A = this chain, B = another copy of it.
Amino acid sequence: LAPSSPPTRRGAAAGALPDLLPACNGEITTMSFLQDIVDILLQYVVKSFDRTTKVIDFHYPNELLQEYNWELADQPQTLEEILLNCRTTLKYAIKTGHPRYFNQLSTGLDMVGLAADWLTSAANTNMFTYEIAPVFVLLEYVTLRKMREMVGWPGGCGDGIFSPGGAISNMYAMLIARFKMFPEVKEKGMAAIPRLVAFTSEHSHFSVKKGAAALGIGTDSVILIRCDERGKMIPSDLERRILEAKQKGFVPFLVSATAGTTVYGAFDPLIAIADICKKYKIWMHVDGAWGGGLLMSRKHKWKLNGVERANSVTWNPHKMMGVPLQCSALLVREEGLMQSCNQMHASYLFQQDKHYDLSYDTGDKALQCGRHVDVFKLWLMWRAKGTTGFEAQIDKCLELAEYLYNKIKNREGYEMVFDGKPQHTNVCFWYIPPSLRSMEDNEERMSRLMKVAPVIKARMMEYGTTMVSYQPLGDKVNFFRMVISNPAATHQDIDFLIDEIERLGQDL
């Protein structure tokens, strides 16, 4: 059918709905609106990588609420107003692709990844069946198999899923581990099975506890294992705590080792942990949300030696591999377990009399029903870079972290939080302002040092020049945690960060 009316600026094809803009056979208004948006976005992309632009134009929440009318109303706005909404939103957004944005584990803005995400939006489908996402289901199959190969499982065999983030991936691991040991839990709940306990290091990600709370296991049943001074789990403490739990009559069902802790970037000793898991027949999960990316690097992947012995692995390509948010994979060694654990056989989605191979209807292994297409970004970036391109990008970030470490380890005004070269791109340090440098190491100094990083950080945000994270950890007061995952960062950006910290902190 040809369009029944000529295109007009008010979207006449939609009938009485102004600005609804259904694209009808190339309607001019629609195309020019989308092109206007793209022009705004391209400008933003260019600015994101421009070091003369601020990382952030910071406003306090109450100011930002007043800067613009953000409210929702009964009546439509014009397309011109919609474009203005977009420009305003971007004006106050953080430029997470900026080469001096170091605030999170996910930084950078990959152009192929961005293009892939735009395509994903236009394709606008769900992952539950081959029927409605044929290509994406196949690409998930291809990509997960490749990731399992990198983990070291023979022939890339096994199972897996892309989930909405590392916390959910870790929760899946806990869910599947529990089901593997006590499949009756699915029908009968926790009431029917013994008291379970899980083990993870004191430096592990909080999602292990969050998952235990959600799954009805309880945070008290997550036993935190001591770490060495570098933040690595101490295997002898793990074994001791397993024995202790068994003596109490609890059933150890999961060890969640970490490959790349959030703050220190530490890699737990996976081989020793695998030995213990084997000895006590416990599911071994590796949370490689942050460190998994190093599997792409021939130079650094030894840090994950032993990961091939895990039963499950979390790996977030949206972190160290620079894939746009979100892209997190859970990989499982045993095939079919996710399906048995989660399937509910909804007859309106997973009809058994379809005309194609039903093994491609993978949706019933998920906790979600609808599931966003997260794989395409990773797949297209992998095609564009090749494994060697990811490797070069990751090696470069690690080299930059070492550069930063070497620059500050003996520099006046810096103290390292732990000794030795960083294993990941995490570099943890205190900046000591001149006024504290000659003070004795006592309570007063601690309480003053505690306030240094927050003030410098607040000033960074107000100037908008750079952003880096800080936090306390255990008995250590606030320190900076520098991480580098943006391949656009250079040595000059590291130099800039150091200068900026000193400029903003020297009077404290």
| A188 x B93 contact (CB < 8 A) | no
- Bound-state CA distance A347–B143 (Å) is 34
| B218 x A192 contact (CB < 8 A) | yes
If the complex has contacts A42-B31, A175-B214, are A104 and B132 also in contact, measured as CB distance less than 8 A? yes
Residues 70-87 of A contacting B (Cβ, < 8 Å): 70-77, 79, 81-82, 85-86
Report chain B residues within 8 Å CB of A389.
17-20, 76
- Bound-state CA distance A110–B355 (Å) is 31
- Bound-state CA distance A263–B89 (Å) is 39
Among B44, B64, B130, the residue within 8 A (CB) of A135 is B64
* A331 → B minimal CB distance (Å): 15
| B124 x A386 contact (CB < 8 A) | no
Closest to A326 in B: B372
Among B121, B142, B450, the residue within 8 A (CB) of A121 is B121
Report chain B residues within 8 Å CB of A165.
368-372
* A107 → B minimal CB distance (Å): 9
- Known contacts A96-B123, A185-B218, A190-B216; 10 additional CB pairs below 8 A are A33-B111, A34-B38, A61-B130, A61-B360, A82-B112, A106-B370, A189-B190, A189-B195, A189-B221, A353-B478
* A85 → B minimal CB distance (Å): 6
| A109 x B190 contact (CB < 8 A) | no
Closest to A196 in B: B189
| B17 x A370 contact (CB < 8 A) | no
Q: Report if A65 contacts B (CB, 8 A).
A: yes
Among B38, B97, B369, B467, the residue within 8 A (CB) of A205 is B369
Interface membership of chain A positions 462-492, coded 1 if the CB is closer than 8 angstroms to chain B and 0 otherwise: 0000010111110000100100000110001
If the complex has contacts A189-B190, A219-B186, A346-B206, are A44 and B167 also in contact, measured as CB distance less than 8 A? no
* A138 → B minimal CB distance (Å): 6
* A291 → B minimal CB distance (Å): 16
Report chain B residues within 8 Å CB of A46.
23, 25-26, 31
Q: Report if A21 contacts B (CB, 8 A).
A: yes
Report chain B residues within 8 Å CB of A504.
none
Interface membership of chain A positions 379-418, coded 1 if the CB is closer than 8 angstroms to chain B and 0 otherwise: 1101111111100110010000000000000000000000
**10 A–B pairs (Cβ distance < 8 Å), ordered by A:** A72-B387, A73-B387, A75-B388, A82-B383, A114-B124, A121-B121, A186-B218, A186-B219, A206-B344, A210-B344
